[in-house]
Each structure stands twice: as structure tokens, then as C-alpha cells.
Structure 1
Amino acid sequence: MRTVRDDDTVYVVLKESADSTLVRDPATGEERHLPTDSLEPAGGTAPLDALATAIPEDARAVVRACHADWHLGVLVALADDGPLPARSLVARFETCESDLVGALTEFRAAELVEETDVHGERGYRLTDAGESGIGALRD
């Protein structure tokens, strides 16, 4: 499998002949035949990376940041009940504080979560990207 592009879009090649190439638009899943001479190699775009663009970027960021189901659960809890104070996160989820801090640090690095003040305490809330990512996964 390889990727090609025309003026506007990167495609994944499904089948190719001298005159016509069957391609799939990864973002829409639409397949169509295009003239082979209208396409050029999409250098630097790996086929699997191109296929991943079918998933919204914010949802991909959530998937990349979550290494276990409980990580995703933290983000869902923040989406549903957030922002939440840091101390209540540890008590609420009955998880090791250092594990939770590690997960929150990764979420902050991925720009899914940010620190905030919750009733005078340090807490966390989802960023717009975090909310969008969780929303896309729920849809």
C-alpha cells in the first residue's frame, strides 16, 4: 500500500493501472478512479498514518495519551463531572497518587487536560481538545 496525492488530497492506492488508479480518501472512505497521470507520490505520508486521518485529530490525541482503560476513565470523569480538585481525584478513583499524577502529566503534555483552581484547590479540567476528543469517541 502506498499514498499518492492530487492538488488537494492525499489518497491511499488500492489498485493501479497505466491509465487509472483506484484510490481511497482516508478522511471520508470514498473510493474512486482517478487518472494515474494526475497523481504524484505523497512523500512523507505513510499509508497507515493517512488512514488514521479518518478519525478526528482530537480523538487520536486521546487514544495516543491513554495507555490503559482507567486513563480513559479519568478523561471521561473530567468530561462528565469536571473540573475536579486533585485531592478528590485520588480519593474518588482509589488509585495510586503517583500513577494518577503520571497520567495527568501525560494528558497535560498532550494538551487534553490543564490545571485549574477548583474552590480554592488545585484541580484539573479538560481542554477544548480534550472535550472534543472524548465527544468524538462517544459519537
Structure 2
Amino acid sequence: MTIFFKQFKRGLLPAYVLLAILTSSVTLVSCSKDDKLEVQNDFPFEVQVMPIPKDVLNGQTVEIRMAIKRSGNYSDTQYFIRYFQFDGQGTLRYSNESAYLPNDLYPLPTKQFRLYYTSSSTVSQSFDVWISDSFGNEKKLTFQFNSSD
């Protein structure tokens, strides 16, 4: 019986050596000093806009419902809005706040919000709204209203 154990041990010796080599190589590769945990915090987004009227009267206010849809979720992402009117005249504001100044950057407190555009013109009006996040991602939305008599 002792001969059996000696032959059994000799047969297992190469397997033990191979197992030790594999274990040490996996340990050395997985413990590299350059490995850093990468946390993704920059997620692209889309902006959804509910349908709005095509025509607006001078002095009329149009509600624009918008929602930011993120592809991922990073809680510290901040969103901002700015606009530029290139045809006609009017004002754009968030909720009951003061009217936005063109090309100024304003923080957006929520991901779902309503903007209010008030026409001050008897001609067609066009303006761009830019929504950006704290990582430099940006979406441009163009709005056009025909003058209505």
C-alpha cells in the first residue's frame, strides 16, 4: 500500500506545482498598482418637448413642457439653460421667475420643467434653447412661432 501512495504523490506533484504557478500569476496580475476604479459620472442626455402651438399672438404666452432624459444616473450632475432669440421679439422665463436674458446661463432646478414664452412681436419668431450639463454635454432646441392676427 505504501507503493501506491508514493506513486499517487508523484503524480500529484506536477499538478500542485502548476496550481501554485497559476495562483501566483493571477494574484500578481490582479494586484497591479496602476489599477484605478473608474466611476462613470458623465452621461449623455436627451431633452423631450411636448407639442406646442405653431401660431402665437402678440402678448400671448405659450407653455413649453420639457423633460431631461438621462442615459445614466449620477446624482451630482447639474443642468443649465440659456437661450438666444434671432427672429422677432419675446421673453422666455422659467415658472414664475423673471425673464431670461439672452445668452446668460441659468441653473435648472429640476429635470422636468415648464418654460413660458411671451410674444412681443407681430412677426414670426424664432429662438434657440440650449440645455447643458456640468460635464459639457449640450443639446440645442429650436422653436419657431408664426405671427397670428
Alignment TM class, shorter chain as reference: under 0.3
| TM-score, normalization by structure 2 | 0.19
| Structure (1 or 2) with the larger CA radius of gyration | 2
Higher strand share goes to which structure? 2
